[in-house]
Amino acid sequence: MKTSKTSRRQAAIASFMQAMREEMRLSILWGNAAAGLAGINPTDAITMIFLNEVGEATAGQLAKITGLTTGAMTAAIDRLESAGLAARKVDPHDRRKVIVKAIKMPTQLSALRRTVTKELEDTLLHYSETELLRFIDMKNITNAFLKRCINLYDDKHVRSFMNSRTKP
């Protein structure tokens, strides 16, 4: 019995979703494991990695990026500040805002990133650059999809700052 084209498509899409769910679960596990390796709590790790990329951001932006409440972010910044990893300063243009500036990257996180990069290079060894670029395109597509799902949840919550970072 021959399978129809559309049902094969649906089966492919179902497999795709299954793989995405698996990836989501693993991502969370890995986030926690990585933070554990670095001896830092997962939230603080994500915050520092992000801060390290952008240099500085407001407390509110960090809350949106990490998906935490502003209250939790206040506490996280307290921890980072007392660990000497980041510092607060008031935004001179808007004194309600608190700008958080990265001071230094926890050395274990940097070391971990090097290890993981090496591991990923080994994994991707047998793929051509063209294939890699196609993979990246595809990741961007699913990331856009995830963003739409998240916006489906709350239109104003994440969109503004997130889009401003990842569009280009």
In whole angstroms, the minimum distance from the beta carbon of 153 to DNA comes to 12
Which residue type sits at 62? L
Alpha carbon 163 to its chain's center: 13
Of 87 and 151, the one with the shorter C-beta distance to a second copy is 151
* Cβ-based nearer residue to DNA, 41 or 52: 41
For a second copy, the closer CB: 8 or 89: 8
C-alpha 163/C-alpha 91 separation (Å) is 22
Based on the shown chain and the rule CB under 8 A, indicate whether residue 160 belongs to the binding site for a second copy: no
Closest CB to DNA among 91 and 119?
91
- Antiparallel, parallel or unpaired: β 98-102 and 86-90: antiparallel
Q: Which residues, in sequence order, are bridge partners of residue 100?
A: 57, 88
Which of 67/120 has CB closer to DNA?
67
Binding a second copy by CB under 8 A: which of 133, 160, 163, 164? 133
Minimum distance from residue 139 beta carbon to a second copy (Å): 4
- Residue 45 CA to residue 31 CA, distance in Å, equals 9
Q: Is 142 a binder of a second copy (CB under 8 A)?
A: yes
Would you give the binding string for a second copy spanning residues 4-33, x where CB under 8 A is met?
Answer: -x--xxx-xxxxxx-xxxxxxxxxxxxxxx
DSSP, collapsed to helix, strand or coil, labels residue 100 as strand
Q: Is residue 40 a contact point for a second copy (CB under 8 A)?
A: no
CB of 127 to a second copy, least distance (A): 9
- DSSP code for 127: S
Residue 100 contacts residue 78 (beta carbons within 8 Å) = no
Cβ contacts of 83 within 8 Å, gap of 6 or more? 44
Shortest Å distance, C-beta 22 to a second copy:
5
